[in-house]
Amino acid sequence: MLTLAIIKPDALQARNAGKILAQLEAAGFVVRAARLVKLTTTQAEAFYEVHRARPFYRPLVTFMTSGPALVLALERDNAVAHLRDVIGATDPAEAKPGSVRKLYGASKERNAIHASDSPETAAREVAFFFAEGELRELG
């Protein structure tokens, strides 16, 4: 099963991307596709469309377009639930010890990494960034 992760601009800026990717690989995820992107405002707005009515939407779009981000299509069994477990709670202060957000996040907004929140969202989010032909074959 595939899920989408985005190592966010705060983590790239702090040069934590390599450590985060190593942690994801150690947790059993295989990178099927990866791209360094600088999201446009239109892309970030579309990606976070479900949050459009929330007070944090505009600052989130501004933050996500503030610098490069590393987008990853990740494979493992039960990928969505496992990735959410590895990254921890949205608020780094509440994330479990050793989780990516606890280790590298600074705030609810600057929380180092995004992960898809359901299998349906994962399918949409992977397709948002990657065409079928861009996914590396397993094996």
Catalytic residues: 114
Among residues 3, 100, 114, 129, which is the contact residue for ligand CMP, using CB under 6 A? 114
Chain positions 54 to 113 lying near ligand CMP, rule: CB under 6 A, are 56, 60, 90, 108-109, 111
**Closer residue to ligand CMP, CB minimum distance, 33 or 60:** 60
Q: Tell me whether residue 43 or residue 90 sits nearer to ligand CMP (CB atom).
A: 90
Q: Which residues contact 139 (CB under 8 A, 6 or more apart)?
A: none
Rounded distance between C-alpha atoms, residue 41 and residue 60, angstroms: 10
Site string for ligand CMP, 4-23 (x = CB under 6 A): --------------------
**CA distance linking residue 17 with residue 67, whole number of Å:** 13
Q: Is the CB of 55 or the CB of 139 nearer to ligand CMP? A: 55
CB of 30 to ligand CMP, least distance (A): 21
Residues that bind ligand CMP (CB under 6 A): 51, 56, 60, 90, 108-109, 111, 114
